[in-house]
DNA sequence: CCGGCGATGTAATAAGATAACGCCATGACC
DNA sequence: GGTCATGGCGTTATCTTATTACATCGCCGG
């Protein structure tokens, strides 16, 4: 992993945002949610969640695996990570970005959300949105086709504001 | 590959639709489009396109590879298929379904389209839609975020009309 | 204490995709 | 016709992503 402008080296990362707070917040919400549901947020799962939240970029399972191995000081098997991710995705704590085969922390776990993302092809950051208009439009057209929606996926590739400024 | 209700065994497949016509049509349009653009629709590429159009289900690259090998009577390398698919996707003749790692023939090549799909989780069929409302909604929210869209992906998982009828 | 069940560990392997290298057909140009 | 550049294709190896099968551990109710 090389140095990278958006990732979080220190407590107060660039963008003027305190990312440590993002992480702490995500973990707190996860604790609450799992407690509420009687789901077991194991040490391992919590650790993986934290690693997913390490940045606002989608991260591949094997990247997370590397981090985990490093932090644990011993090699970990892929399956370990995949199982944790499966749990986290099931409980809406993490989303999978299909077009990247990568995972990212959910911005609003617990709330109803359909998983919509703006993914920057330059810096790799992904912002979760949950626009009612998109949801509505999808619902409408699905209904017109007699199609019963179970899981809508919206992943918009493009360039974020920051990256546009840098490359005028 | 097991027998499967939606695939096309004979000329007139189920659904009351003559799928042979779908294929012929797709090939004709592809010929025209490539001629118009000076793109070379090689025998191999044409063959792969035909195999992609073998059904209205997204097909994995390796499934296509198998078909191709069988038709040719000799083993073919994955790269062969991937190269053909790359060409076809670039020219908008085929779409990639990200959430399935699979490929499907484009319903309206040549026209502007953003690649929106209704994917049935039961039968595997995928219908391409191109709803202006969805496109508009995505455009709007992207603009609100100062996000410049390059490639929107909409893949709605769910159950198609037919499959709903079968399982009331 | 013990049986059951969910979580984790270990090993092997499947599935999807790309990299590196070279040959050969095509067509422009001389 | 000869020559050369280009693009398509074949071959092999390798990489990334994901899953299957089976053993073990630890907690909790009985
Ligand atoms: Zn943050
Ligand atoms: Zn960016
Ligand atoms: Zn058809
Ligand atoms: Zn169906």
Q: List bases, strand C, within 7 Å of protein CB.
A: 6-12, 15-20
Q: Which residues contact B96 (CB under 8 A, 6 or more apart)?
A: B85, B89, B102, B103
pLDDT category, A25, cuts 50, 70, 90?
very high
In this complex, the nucleotide whose C1' atom is nearest to the CA atom of residue A80 is C8
Give the model's pLDDT for residue B15.
65
**Which of A120, A138, A146 is nearest residue B134 as measured by Cβ atoms?**
A138
Determine the longest span between alpha carbons in chain A, in angstroms: 54
Per the structure, the complete domain to which residue A36 belongs is given by: 19-166
Residue B83's CB: how many other CB atoms inside 10 A?
14
How far, in Å, is the CA of A42 from the C1' of nucleotide D26?
13
Helix ranges (DSSP H) in chain B = 19-37, 43-52, 61-72, 78-90, 132-144, 161-166
Per mean pLDDT, which range of A8-17, A35-44, A51-60, B95-104 is the poorest?
A: A8-17
- The Cβ-side half-sphere exposure at B127, using a 13 Å CA radius, reads 17
> Contact A137/B142, CB-based, under 8 Å?
no
Give the model's pLDDT for residue A2.
39
CATH code for position B134: 1.10.10.10
**Above 70 in pLDDT, residue A160?**
yes
In 3D, which of A9, A21, A13, A25 has the Cα closest to residue A106? A25
- The Cβ-side half-sphere exposure at B27, using a 13 Å CA radius, reads 19
**Alpha-carbon span B59 to B84, nearest angstrom:** 14
pTM of the predicted model as reported, rounded to 2 decimal places:
0.89
Q: Does B80 fall in a domain?
A: yes
Per the structure, how many domains does chain B have?
Answer: 1
Q: Is the CB of B90 under 7 A from strand C?
A: no
Q: Does A135 fall in a domain?
A: yes
Give the model's pLDDT for residue B166.
80
Per mean pLDDT, which range of A19-28, A149-158, B66-75 is the poorest?
A: B66-75
How does pLDDT run across A52-78, given as a tens digit for each residue? 999 999 999 999 999 999 998 888 999
The ligand minimizing its distance to the Cα of B14 is 3
A118 CB near a chain B CB, below 8 Å?
yes
Q: Does B4 fall in a domain?
A: no
Q: Does B9 fall in a domain?
A: no
Q: Does B7 fall in a domain?
A: no
Q: Does B12 fall in a domain?
A: no
How does pLDDT run across A94-151, given as a tens digit for each residue? 999 999 999 999 999 988 888 899 999 999 999 999 999 999 999 999 999 999 999 9
Weakly modelled stretches of chain B, pLDDT under 50: 1-13
**Alpha-carbon span A112 to A61, nearest angstrom:** 25
Give the model's pLDDT for residue A113.
80
Query: B52: exposed, middle or buried (C-beta count within 10 Å: 0-12, 13-18, 19+)?
Result: buried
Q: Is the CB of A3 under 7 A from strand C?
A: no
**Alpha-carbon span B33 to B39, nearest angstrom:** 8
Query: Binding site membership of A for Zn(2+): which residues?
Result: 120, 123, 160, 163
Q: List bases, strand D, within 7 Å of protein CB.
A: 7-13, 16-21
Give the model's pLDDT for residue B115.
84
In 3D, which of A121, A55, A134 has the Cα closest to residue B148? A121
- The alpha carbon of B118 and the centre of ligand 4 are apart by a number of angstroms equal to 10
Whole-Å CA distances, A127 to A3, B78, B136 = 21, 34, 19
Q: Does A9 fall in a domain?
A: no
Query: B11: exposed, middle or buried (C-beta count within 10 Å: 0-12, 13-18, 19+)?
Result: exposed
Give the model's pLDDT for residue B20.
95
Residue B123 in marked binding region: yes
Q: Does B63 fall in a domain?
A: yes
Give the model's pLDDT for residue B168.
64
**Alpha-carbon span B168 to B165, nearest angstrom:** 6
Based on C-alpha coordinates, what's the Rg of chain A?
Answer: 17
Give the model's pLDDT for residue A9.
44
B136 CB near a chain A CB, below 8 Å?
yes
């Amino acid at each position: 992993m090389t140095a990278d402008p958006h990732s979080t080296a220190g407590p107060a990362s660039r963008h003027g945002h305190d990312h440590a707070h993002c992480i702490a917040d995500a973990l707190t919400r996860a604790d609450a949610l799992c407690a509420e549901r009687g789901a077991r947020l194991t040490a391992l799962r919590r650790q993986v969640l934290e690693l997913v939240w390490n940045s606002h970029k989608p991260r591949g399972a094997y990247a997370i695996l590397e981090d985990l191995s490093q932090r644990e000081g011993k090699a970990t098997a892929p399956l370990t990570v995949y199982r944790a991710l499966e749990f986290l995705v099931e409980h809406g704590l993490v989303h999978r970005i299909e077009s990247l085969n990568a995972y990212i922390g959910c911005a609003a776990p617990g709330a109803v959300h359909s998983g919509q993302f703006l993914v920057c092809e330059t810096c790799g950051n992904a912002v979760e949105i949950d626009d009612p208009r998109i949801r509505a439009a999808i619902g409408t057209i699905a209904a017109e086709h007699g199609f019963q929606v179970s899981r809508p996926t919206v992943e918009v590739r493009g360039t974020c504001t920051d990256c546009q400024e840098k490359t005028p």
